[in-house]
Amino acid sequence: METAEEVRSEAVPDAEEGVGIQAAGYLLELSLDWIVLRASENIHHLLGESHVTLIDEPLGRFVHAQALHDLRNLFSRLSGTTGVGRAYGVRLTDEHKLVDVAFQLSDGRVLLEAVPSHDGFGECFGTVGGLIDGLSNTSGKALLDGGARRMRALTGYDRVTVTCGEDRADSSRGAFPAPAQLSGDLPPVLADVEGVAVAVFPRRFRDTSVDGALLRAPARQAVDQLKREGVRSCLRVLFSVDNVSGEFRCDSRTPRAPHFELHAAAELFAQLFAMRLEIDRFRTADQPAK
């Protein structure tokens, strides 16, 4: 395992070039023993300690014991999967502000991200079932169109584009300057294309673990493309079930604060939608040829 001293010596470009995270959130890269290996350089706003102070120290030195216990228990149930675990309304320190936390395994490390908590926990998930039920009698292009409309209703974004193979559908509130150009360069959650990236300390180039963060900073080329499309913030949600895979991209003309519960609800909707697509394919295949 790399030590903090080893990574300090590596050259790194400026955080503006996409090496880092968005200023709307905080990031800690931890060992499997929850020792801090790296920290976003804005972490003092969250934990009250400099990012330099945290390196090579146990996370338990800086957060409440109960919060650490709960997060580690949740993480233990996630171990061995490729998913993202989330916890909502967590009090990490004596600060009165609650945060929502997302964490995942990446290259043998734990990536822990935090954003300010949103009120109304559970509201996003409560609507997913009804939105999916509304697609039960649709098929083909109508199913894609319905998926895009319902994802827009769920997220409240101005435009939703869904693709599955060569098929595509859009649902938009008003016109955008250009169609969405779906690209793997975008992070799952992008709060504001005008935001300044925050470096992760120790700085280094080509960090594959931070590349997996929900709030990783977007590349300049991706930002420029979004600006041409008239997009200020977006969500990117992939789905895959058996032989069906694709993605939703939700675009907004205005900045949107990162919302981990909303993103999780969008992921759930996308996976259930993929199952509907799979069922529709089976039904189509079973129909006799005319």
Which ranges in the chain are annotated with CATH 3.30.450.20? 4-116
Predicted local distance difference test score (pLDDT) of residue 13? 41
DSSP string computed for the chain: ---HHHHHTS----GGGTSSEETTSEEEEE-TT-BEEEEETTTHHHHSS-HHHHTTSBGGGTS-HHHHHHHHHHHHHHTTSSS-EEEEEE--SSSS--EEEEEEEETTEEEEEEEEPPSSTTHHHHTHHHHHHTTTT--HHHHHHHHHHHHHHHH--SEEEEEETTEEEEEESS--SS-----TTS-SEES-TTPPEE-EESP-SS-TTGGG-TTBPPPHHHHHHHHHHT-SEEEEEEEEETTEEEEEEEEESS-----HHHHHHHHHHHHHHHHHHHHHHHHHHHSPP-
Considering the domain 123-286 in this protein, what is its CATH number?
Answer: 3.30.450.40
Give domain 4-116's CATH architecture. Answer: 2-Layer Sandwich (3.30)
Predicted local distance difference test score (pLDDT) of residue 83? 81
Q: Is the dihedral of CA 119, 120, 126, 130 positive or negative?
A: negative
Is residue 125 scored above 90 in pLDDT? no
Is residue 122 scored above 80 in pLDDT? no
What's the mean per-residue pLDDT of the chain? Answer: 88
Which ranges in the chain are annotated with CATH 3.30.450.40? 123-286
Q: Are strands 167-172 and 200-201 parallel, antiparallel or unpaired?
A: unpaired
Is residue 116 scored above 80 in pLDDT? yes
Question: What pTM value is reported for the model?
Answer: 0.88
| pLDDT tens sequence across 71-99 | 999 888 876 556 899 999 999 998 778 99
Predicted local distance difference test score (pLDDT) of residue 12? 39
Predicted local distance difference test score (pLDDT) of residue 286? 63
Is residue 290 scored above 60 in pLDDT? no
**Over the range 156-182, which residues count as b (16 or more CB within 10 Å of their CB) and which as e?**
ebbbbbbbbeeebbbbbeeebeeebeb
Tokens standing for residue 90: 């967590």
Tokens standing for residue 96: 């009165």
For the chain, give the percent of residues with pLDDT over 90: 68
**pLDDT band per the 50, 70, 90 thresholds, residue 40:** very high
Q: Are strands 197-198 and 21-22 parallel, antiparallel or unpaired?
A: antiparallel
Tokens standing for residue 204: 């280094």
Predicted local distance difference test score (pLDDT) of residue 5? 42
